[in-house]
Chains A and B, each alone.
Chain A
Amino acid sequence: MTHPAGDVVTAGHLHQGKGQFYGVWGGLLILTVVEIALAYNQVFTPRNMLIVLLILSIIKSALIIGYFMHLKFEAGRMKWLLMCSVCFCLALMAVFFADAERIVSLGWKAH
């Protein structure tokens, strides 16, 4: 398909049917219910809970980006460039976590 401005258009959503969208929506709702159930029952220590919740959130965001935002059906170079650059920039921010843990281990020192 060619856009009037000359761009080649990949209509990702045309590859998807309604059933697939309902499936993704159902999956997202189920993952949310799992998260809430874990928080209610408090089965993990806070650190493990954080890891489990982050994994579930990443799965949910992958479903949203891949299917609802159609990135799964875009050109490979667009997918990789977008995802690699945002992950790299976000990973850079994690550098500060080492300092946050250092503050806790310092504790209060009486003079």
Chain B
Amino acid sequence: MADAVLLHHPHGEAYEPSWFRTYSKKIGMWLFILSDSLTFGALLFAYSYNRLSTPNWPTPFHVESIRNASIMTGFLLTSSLTMVMAVLASSRGDRAWTRNWLLATMAFGAGFVLLHAAEWNKLIDEGLRWPLFQQLFDLKPGTNPEYVAATRNFPQFGGTFFALTGMHMLHVTIGIMYLGAVALRKLGLPILAVLAVACWWAPGPFHYGFYVMLFGLAIAAIILFLKPMDYSDHDIEVTGLYWHFVDLVWMFIFPLVYLMSTKITS
């Protein structure tokens, strides 16, 4: 039995104001972003360390890859713009436009993931591998001698490239699910279930997207059924912080991984 009883004021003034002069959800999200930036920082430093310590680092990205990655960058930057528009609309109390902007953000994010997945499939088909892929899947030999040589002579290239971009792609996928839960609430669950089934039939490593989707579906379902609420403008702003962070990380991956491993041949 508790000795003391905490009295709750009906308007919430029982608590003293935050030292950071903002609401708790936002501080929580900033702390998460802080810890996650160290995860990505460690991966980027691992990539840079390998690059510095390996003479003749492979430069397998040519015009097509850079064009693809540039379009992906444009998608992410535009998704950040639509996200801030959603935050602005929610602060005005405009629910219809908040949902529209969130859906637009999800569409740009999905475009990014699809382009990235297509690029991964192409690279794996042509012979660029993460050593782990070789053990997990019965993959055909690659068709591009440059990628096959890069995999054989510099396994750390495939290892760091797939780990870094895969981790980022996972974050974008989780971000789309998060936006879906906020924008569509329970309506998003059947869509997520359909996507999970589609992933089950996806080729190669993308089959494992099924488990990501299934896990996301379970978490979203638990949250949406246990706490079926209308998300406030604070929730939209906190969702936006996560989404902009994902965009921010790409601003380092794109130049360090793609542009620094470019050899333009006409």
Interface residues of A (CB under 8 A from B): 2-11, 13-14, 16, 18, 21-22, 25, 28-29, 32, 35-36, 38-40, 42, 46, 49-50, 53-54, 56-57, 60-61, 64-65, 68-70, 74-75, 77-78, 82, 85-86, 89-90, 93-94, 96-97, 99-101, 103-104
- Is B229 an interface position by the 8 A CB rule? no
Shortest A92–chain B CB gap in Å is 10
Q: Are B49 and A3 in contact (CB under 8 A)?
A: no
Interface of B is mostly: helix
- Is B52 an interface position by the 8 A CB rule? yes
Shortest B154–chain A CB gap in Å is 14
CA distance A32 to B30 in the complex (A): 26
Q: Are A69 and B34 in contact (CB under 8 A)?
A: no
Shortest B98–chain A CB gap in Å is 13
- Is B165 an interface position by the 8 A CB rule? no
Interface residues of B (CB under 8 A from A): 11-24, 27, 30, 34, 37-38, 41-42, 45, 48-50, 52-53, 55, 66, 70, 73-74, 77-78, 80-81, 83-85, 87-88, 91, 234, 237, 240-241, 244-245, 247-248, 251-252, 254-256, 258-260, 262, 264
Q: Are B53 and A74 in contact (CB under 8 A)?
A: no
Known contacts A21-B84, A86-B37, A97-B52: does B244 contact A8 (CB below 8 Å)?
no
Known contacts A7-B23, A100-B52: does B80 contact A68 (CB below 8 Å)?
yes
Q: Are B260 and A6 in contact (CB under 8 A)?
A: no
Residue of A nearest to B21 (CB): A75
Interface of A is mostly: helix
CA distance A10 to B238 in the complex (A): 13
Q: Are B248 and A8 in contact (CB under 8 A)?
A: no
Report 17 cross-chain contacts, Cβ distance below 8 Å, ordered by A residue.
A2-B12, A8-B22, A13-B87, A28-B80, A32-B73, A35-B254, A40-B264, A50-B260, A54-B256, A64-B244, A74-B21, A75-B21, A82-B34, A90-B37, A93-B41, A100-B48, A101-B52
Given contacts A13-B237, A57-B256, 4 further A-B contacts (CB under 8 A): A14-B91, A36-B66, A39-B259, A60-B251
